[in-house]
Amino acid sequence: MGELMRRWMQIMAEPQNLYSGGDLSFSRMKQVTISLPTGIYVFSAAITSTDTDANVCCVRFMQQDDKEASEEDFTEAIIARSVSGESHSKTYHVIAPVHHLYLYASTNYPRTAGDTAQFKNIRIWRIG
């Protein structure tokens, strides 16, 4: 019974990953379909990019009609890139149902024509 209880506690301590699409590699911007209700979410990933203008990328939670679904607008939706393969995370306050994510290779979309990005170990979990 002790082992069963330990395993149950471990499962309960690990938040459920709401993203199941695997690692992503793309040029400039990637739209990912996902359905999330309102709430507070954490997005985490190991992100690399060929962008040389900044050391951050952008992740936006979007409604079906391409309006922001979170309180974090484009200027606030930045997330640090990985230096040594580590994951970075950001909390999003989702105020409308999410229908897709926009992942950007840079924070300056007009200058990202040749930039590529990789998002590995993507995790999204709800915290509130």
Q: What is the CATH number of the domain that holds 73?
A: 2.60.120.260
Asked if residue 54 is part of any domain, the answer here is yes
Asked if residue 7 is part of any domain, the answer here is no
Q: Tell me what pLDDT residue 82 has.
A: 83
Under a CB-based contact definition with an 8 Å cutoff, are residues 105 and 116 in contact?
yes
Asked if residue 6 is part of any domain, the answer here is no
Asked if residue 105 is part of any domain, the answer here is yes
Q: Tell me what pLDDT residue 113 has.
A: 75
Q: Which residues pair with 27 in a beta bridge?
A: 116
Q: How many domains does the chain have?
A: 1
Asked if residue 25 is part of any domain, the answer here is yes
Asked if residue 31 is part of any domain, the answer here is yes
Asked if residue 51 is part of any domain, the answer here is yes
Strands 116-126 and 39-49: antiparallel
- Would residue 8 be called left, alpha or beta, if left means φ above 0 and alpha means ψ between -120 and 50 degrees? alpha
- Which residues of the chain register pLDDT less than 70? 1-2, 4-14, 75, 109-112
Range of the domain at 104: 17-126
- The pTM (predicted TM-score) of the whole model is 0.84
Asked if residue 119 is part of any domain, the answer here is yes
Q: Tell me what pLDDT residue 109 has.
A: 67
Q: Tell me what pLDDT residue 55 has.
A: 82
